[in-house]
Structures are given as C-alpha cells and as structure tokens.
Structure 1
Amino acid sequence: MKDLWSKGMNNAENAILCGTSAGGLATILNCDNFKSLLPENVKVKCVADAGFFINGKTISGTSDIQEMYRKIVNLHGSAKNLPSACTSVMEPSLCFFPENVVPYIQTPLFIINSIYDTWQIKNILIPEKLDPQHTWKDCKSNISGCTFSQRIIIQAFGVEFLKKFEGLPPCFTRGYFLTSCYSHGGILSLTYWFSASSPRLLNKVMFHLHYPYKV
C-alpha cells in the first residue's frame, strides 16, 4: 500500500480490493484493514472470489482444515494480524474461516464462490490421505466420474456450505454470487462474466449482480 500510495493511490476516489482463492481469503481477512488505510471519503469495496473456505469435515468426520489453520496460526504468529473483532471472541485459528469473520466486516463486500468448490472438495472433504486406494481420483478430477454415493456426499457438502451463509447476519452492504459449478475461481475468465453460458442467478449473470447496493 505504501508503494501504491506513492504511485497515485493517495488521489483515489474509489478503491477495490480483490483476490481469488488464497487471495480471496486474504481479501476477506483484510477488507476493513484496507479501508482503514485510505481517506474517509474514498469509496472502498472488496471482492472475494473462491475464498470462502468453510470449516467443513472430511469424509471421515474429522476437522482437518481447522487443525491445519491452527498450525498455521501457531507457526506464523498470525493471531495479531487477524481481525481483532473475531479473535477477541474466539480462538484465533477459527478466524481464518470467513464464516466467522464476515459478520464483523463493515466495508462493502461481494463474495463469489461455488458451493461445490473443487479445491475444498479435494482438500477439505476428501484429502488424499483419506483416499489411499484412490477411489475418489476420477470423481475429484471430473464430476461426471463420480459414483451415485460419491455424488450424494458431495451434495451434502454443498448443503453444509450453504448453511454457513444462512448463518450469516443480513447486511445491505454485502452480496453473494454462489453457483453450483464444479469449479474453483472464475472472475479471471471473461467468459465467466459475459458468455451466454455464464453462471446465472435469477437469470442474471454475475456482471449484472455485482454489488447489489448503491455505489
């Protein structure tokens, strides 16, 4: 930000913080902090693509992703850099999960995600160590390769994903574009925004739903 400030950011009237995947998560975690670095009169918004990683369980019922985040926080001393509004009420590693951070975000935020996010299916739901026989290999690489029972498990993950959003408090400065695509990220592709086959919500493509509140 200091570098951008010297290159004209100090004259900004509008600013958007955006990222995909890990960058999408970082966008959520740093959204309010980004706003605080800019003058009060600057209109600031955040767009997180494929960054809403949920605290989901594996096919064995364990919380591997939560344990991984706990180790990350301990290794890097991340607690001091996570949103304090969250870390003041719960264990810091839980504040890596957007479901626990989003309720505290004051800056306008737009979340783009698939409820069947492929990274989360492959790493949160079915990490490789739990599939030593590689029975999920074809399914994870292509949804058409899934058996009926495997699809049921993935569909249950999607239901759990949606429950995380249902648990978020309503907010007129927050919007979501959640698809059923078996994918991870999409905003870097122009076809995702403008194609006739672009994902649609209420018969509108993401471009028309972007920020459902006044700019």
Structure 2
Amino acid sequence: MMGRQTISFDLTGTLTTYRFSNRVWFEELPRLFAKKNRLSFEEAKKKLKQIYDEVGEERLEWYDLKYWFRRFDLGDSWYRMLEGASCEVELYPETKKVLESLSHKYDLVLLTNAAREFVEVETREIKGYFRSIFSCVSDFGQVKKTPGFYLLVCRRLGLRAEELTHVGDHWKFDYLIPRQAGVRAFYLDRSRKARGQFVLHDLQELEEKISQVAGH
C-alpha cells in the first residue's frame, strides 16, 4: 500500500518574503557595526557589503550570524537581534491556507539554505505543518542545495527521490538541481514571467499542477 506523498518547500521567497532576512543583514547588523566602530549607518552598510563579498556565499561562515558577531566583536546578542527583527517575518498571503490544505493529503517538509537560527524564528507560525525541517547549512554543512543534499534528505525521510516533490523560487537550486537528483520539482515564479507545466505563479496552483503531472 502506497503511503502519503511528500512535498518539500523552500522557505524564503517561497513561503516567506525577504523582509526578515533583509532586516537582519542590511539594517540591524550594520546598525550594531556602525555603533561599535563609530561610523554612520551608510558607511557601515557599505563596509559590511564589502566584507560580505570578500567572504563570499560559497563559505559556510557567510550564513552564520554567530560568526559575524564574533568577527566584529559584537558580543553574544545575536539572538536578541533576531528576536527584535522577528516582527518583519512575513508570510505570503496564500502560504498558511495552502499548507493547511496540503497537510491533510501530503507529508510536508521544509528545505532551506538559511541557518537554523533564522529558520526557528521565521517558521514560528507554520512549523506545525512540517514533518521535518532541514537546513543545508546547519544540518549538512552545505552552502547550497546540491543533488547530494536532496538525496540525503530523501534518505533521512526514507523516500526514493521520485517519491519527493519539491517547490521553490530559485530556478537552479529549487528546480534544476532537484530534477538532477530525480526529484520532481516545481519552479515558483511570482513575477509571472516563466511558463510551463512545472511552473507556478502562486502556491495555490500547486495541487492542481501535481494532479495534471500525475495524469489525474
């Protein structure tokens, strides 16, 4: 007897907007850096961007807020900063309705390259819908979702790759890469520029698209 199918979702840009992440990296951290180094806010933003770029998003440290607090000698108030920015966590309008509906028919999991500290704050309203939550940075030591990451997730969940359906807003890491691993994937394009059988413009289209692909 076949069990319930599993759908995995990306987080930021798919279920939540970028407001929270942008607030942390481009407002709160520069503000602390400016105060520590007696710079103007704009000077601090410019300097931080330069340093972010020097480290580069191919290194795990780029995603690690605790690393930046240590590097800039900002103390251990990173959690307080995340809490202070939590008011900026914003779900897309259809997110909760879609998760509520799908959770009755599918097992739902969350796959993100956000660090676990961010995920815990960003998912407070919706974490109850998910069977499992995986951070490729915190749980697997990978900075991006690779084919290997998707296969590791499937192994953890006891699934074959073809038994997982993934949805996300990044053309490469949420669509092309999972398909390379044998995972069925849908690309969420909220700009409504892309078209195709595996393209969504809104999460509310997902269930119908799954049925169409399955030939129902």
TM, length-normalised to structure 2: 0.29
Query: Is the helix fraction higher in 1 or 2?
Result: 2
